[in-house]
């Protein structure tokens, strides 16, 4: 099964070297745009962020972003491909911050803490980010055939696999990582917080309890 996933560097290795962050968007979202293209992209993202602040994620359509940025609808489609691509671009900045934290940031989320502590910290950080960006994350949730192929999700899954491998050498790390990652799914977080009224603190405690039961910690 591990051959289906991209390689993820062991967070305990090469700590002093820059880590490569995986973007949420497709490989077509080149990191070094021409200055005018970068300005246009930032302008479109600013317009989309304003729409979310004013109307929620439901207010973000390609047409609405084009109107808010005073550009043609075709410009938005060419830049982001579709609405999911636009929403992924909005999430990209916080995703890179999250990756930087668990790949090379300070412990316990980053290298230097025992793997079980890092696993607890990873889930708590993911839950807090999810609650803060819940409408946006729900709106950007890919269709079933793409859900587990999104690069950012794959690197997070691989990170959990690494921590589990360090803690439980004989476990089926791939499947166990999917089980743990399911707890952090935005759809479940929406159900638990908004439909069931659970607090973020209870979700965090539940994650820590789950990690301890799974790992024997």
Using one digit for the tens of pLDDT, what is the confidence trace for 176-210?
999 999 999 999 999 999 999 999 999 999 999 99
Helix 62-69 with 73-80: angle, nearest 10 deg: 120
Please say if the pLDDT value at position 155 is more than 50: yes
- Cα–Cα distances (Å) from 117 to 82, 182, 208, in that order, read 39, 19, 9
Minimal CA–CA distance to 119: which of 8, 213, 19, 16? 213
pLDDT at 33: 55
Helix H or strand E encompassing 109: none
* 30-34 mean pLDDT: 55
Chain centroid, CA 86 distance in Å = 15
Per-domain boundaries in the chain: 2-10+82-215
Please say if the pLDDT value at position 7 is more than 50: no
* 75-100 mean pLDDT: 88
The angle subtended at Cα 100 by Cα 98 and Cα 104, nearest 5°, is: 130
Higher pLDDT, 10 or 108: 108
As assigned by CATH, the class of the 2-10+82-215 domain is: mainly alpha
């Amino acid at each position: 099964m591990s051959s289906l996933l991209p390689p993820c560097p062991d967070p305990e290795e090469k700590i002093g070297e820059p880590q490569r962050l995986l973007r949420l968007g497709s490989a077509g979202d080149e990191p070094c745009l021409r200055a005018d293209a970068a300005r246009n992209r930032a302008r479109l993202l600013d317009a989309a962020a304003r729409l979310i602040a004013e109307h929620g994620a439901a207010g973000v359509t390609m047409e609405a972003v084009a109107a808010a940025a005073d550009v043609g609808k075709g410009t938005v489609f060419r830049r982001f491909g579709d609405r999911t691509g636009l929403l992924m671009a909005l999430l990209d900045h916080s995703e890179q911050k999250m990756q930087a934290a668990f790949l090379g940031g300070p412990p316990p989320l980053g290298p230097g803490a025992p793997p079980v502590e890092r696993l607890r910290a990873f889930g708590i950080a993911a839950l807090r980010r999810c609650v803060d960006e819940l409408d946006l994350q729900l709106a950007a949730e890919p269709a079933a055939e793409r859900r587990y192929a999104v690069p950012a999700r794959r690197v997070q899954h691989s990170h959990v696999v690494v921590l589990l491998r360090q803690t439980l050498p004989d476990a089926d790390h791939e499947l166990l990582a999917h089980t743990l990652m399911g707890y952090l799914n935005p759809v479940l977080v929406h159900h638990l917080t908004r439909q069931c009224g659970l607090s973020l603190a209870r979700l965090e405690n539940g994650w820590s309890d789950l990690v301890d039961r799974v790992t024997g910690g």
